[in-house]
Amino acid sequence: MSYCDTCVVRNRAICAALDNNEINALNGIGRRKTLAAGDPLIWEGDDSTLVANVIDGILKLTNSTEDGREQIVGVVYPADFIGRPFGKTTSHSVTALTDAKVCLFARSDFDRFAHEHPQLEHKLLKRTLDELDRTRSWMLLLARKSAEEKVATFLLDMSERLVDATCAAPHDGPLDEFDLPFSRQQIGDILGVTIETVSRQMTRLKRDGILDLPTRRTVRILDRQALVDMAG
Amino acid sequence: MSYCDTCVVRNRAICAALDNNEINALNGIGRRKTLAAGDPLIWEGDDSTLVANVIDGILKLTNSTEDGREQIVGVVYPADFIGRPFGKTTSHSVTALTDAKVCLFARSDFDRFAHEHPQLEHKLLKRTLDELDRTRSWMLLLARKSAEEKVATFLLDMSERLVDATCAAPHDGPLDEFDLPFSRQQIGDILGVTIETVSRQMTRLKRDGILDLPTRRTVRILDRQALVDMAG
DNA sequence: CGCCGATTTGATCGTGGTCAACAATAGTGG
DNA sequence: CCACTATTGTTGACCACGATCAAATCGGCG
């Protein structure tokens, strides 16, 4: 009897590539860990000794300059994979944004296991290729878009990404109302702007009737088309 | 007798994972293609029907907004892999920056071949993970660094990346003199700044005695430490 | 030599950063 | 449940960096 039997991401994480025997073997080398919001999991520049699957919660990947400027270079959701297998060092920090549960492996154990299970590597490869595409698209936003375009793009992105988080209704398509899993500071760190700029743009969107902001964390999209036009 | 026998990147590209029999099989589904500087290979949003290995030359990967702003999201060198296997669409354009030679595969052929050769997928996975790390580091630069820091970082990056291009001396370490494979416009597109800003920063570095710029494309680093300090 | 594209240089302007004050919300203990 | 505090978010004033527009200069090539 393994933890995995009851794992909510069993069929969405890379583990979906494995049959029951294999899952049991994997279970033998992994362990669960619970993180509180704000807890670090991996530090930038650490030796790469850990990899993990996200079971529940949201975590951020960050890079920082020596003088403390921080950039969020990725956000991981349940079923996503964390860490740098087959390599010596990790180039970014991983920190829980919400309370989170992860399934943790020693990198060396995972590397060995992956090597013996090509289907697992295949899943991981697809995931990594997807993530690379997403990351590259984000570069265009960071480098070329105005603050207005950044915020509009971000909100649209969220309304799509958070669909399975709110697994409530089986309707397709993006959400028109959702709770942001980020503070204003974190949104700034994602978009490469300051907290004040995020705030000003949000206020403006509300004033123009494109959004409603019932609470600080809640967003209701009133005019999606306007947002799309604005996203550039 | 296959093309691959004489391929200069045979032992550096992902093909290095294959033995001679396998290489022959791969050779059967690939073909060489020559590109002139400026030639496009793949268009953003195309159906993903091609993948390739770079044999010689340098190519850029770009994303663009509808209104024509362009961002270079990646640069590929000999032995690097191009394209999006196991997926439906490519999210960026690929264009030759210099005259180039590539080894081209139909995506479906490559996908099938890769599936049957886990060692190949493994190499590709490592490469993709490396590229993802590099891309994420670049996000910090795009989002948070000043023009001065961007240019300094870029020059240091070039002095390291171009080492094997100039396979002349067997000395390790970065180059202190090299020819940029990019125009000022392209440097701007990599750093997310305008051509004028690149030019001004370069001029300033020269005036301060940190660089010498014998020709428009040649860079000689006179004070590497100053550049490092400046890169932030 | 003369042409054309690439680059440099200069002048001006606007976006978003910075600094500072204020407001709202969440969290804590009486 | 409310007062009090700490934290987070909002708003305003000002300024700097880099964009934009424009002109001059360089360099390669016929």
For strand C, list residues 172-201 of chain B whose Cβ lies within 7 Å of it: 183-185, 195-196, 198-200
Contact between chains at B136 and A61 (C-beta distance less than 8 A): yes
**Searching chain B, which residue's CA lies closest to the CA of residue A194?**
B144
Q: Can you read off the two tokens belonging to residue A47? A: 């030796």
Selecting from B70, B140, B232 the residue whose C-beta is nearest the C-beta of A63 gives B140
* CA B62 – CA B59 distance, rounded (Å): 10
In the predicted structure, residue B169 carries a pLDDT above the cut 90: no
pLDDT of res. A3? 76
Q: Which chain B residues are Cβ-neighbours of A74 within 8 angstroms?
A: 136
User: CB-based contact (8 Å) between A121 and chain B?
Assistant: yes
Name the residue closest to D18, CA to C1'.
Answer: B197
HSE, side-chain direction, 13 A CA sphere, residue A138: 26
User: Scanning the structure block, which residue is given the tokens 């081209």?
Assistant: B104
pLDDT of res. A89? 84
**How close does chain B come to A46, measured CA to CA in Å?**
14
Domains with residue ranges and CATH for chain A = 3-139 (2.60.120.10), 145-231 (1.10.10.10)
**Searching chain B, which residue's CA lies closest to the CA of residue A133?**
B91
pLDDT tier at B172 (50, 70, 90 boundaries)?
confident
pLDDT of res. A169? 59
* CA A205 – CA A152 distance, rounded (Å): 9
Average pLDDT, chain B: 92
pLDDT of res. B162? 86
CA→C1' distance for A189 and C22 (Å): 24
Q: pLDDT tens digits, residue range A62-116?
A: 999 888 899 999 999 999 999 999 988 888 999 999 999 999 999 999 999 999 9
Strand (E) or helix (H) holding B186: helix B184-191
Q: pLDDT tens digits, residue range A111-153?
A: 999 999 999 999 999 999 999 999 999 999 999 999 999 999 9
Q: Which chain B residues are Cβ-neighbours of A145 within 8 angstroms?
A: 65
Instruction: State the count of interchain CB pairs (< 8 A) between A and B.
Output: 128
**Which residues are within 7 Å of strand D by their Cβ atom?**
A 183-185, 195-196, 198-200, 202-203, 213, 216; B 146-148, 192-194, 196-197, 215-216
Q: pLDDT tens digits, residue range B84-116?
A: 999 888 889 999 999 999 999 999 999 999 999
In terms of pLDDT, which residue wins out, A6 or B197? B197
Contact A50, A111 (CB under 8 A): no
Q: pLDDT tens digits, residue range A22-61?
A: 998 998 999 999 999 999 998 877 777 899 999 999 999 9
Q: Can you read off the two tokens belonging to residue B193? A: 């700044």
For strand C, list residues 210-229 of chain A whose Cβ lies within 7 Å of it: 215-216
% of chain A at pLDDT higher than 90: 78
- DSSP character string of A82-126: EE-TTSSB--SEEEESSSEEEEEEEHHHHHHHHHH-HHHHHHHHH
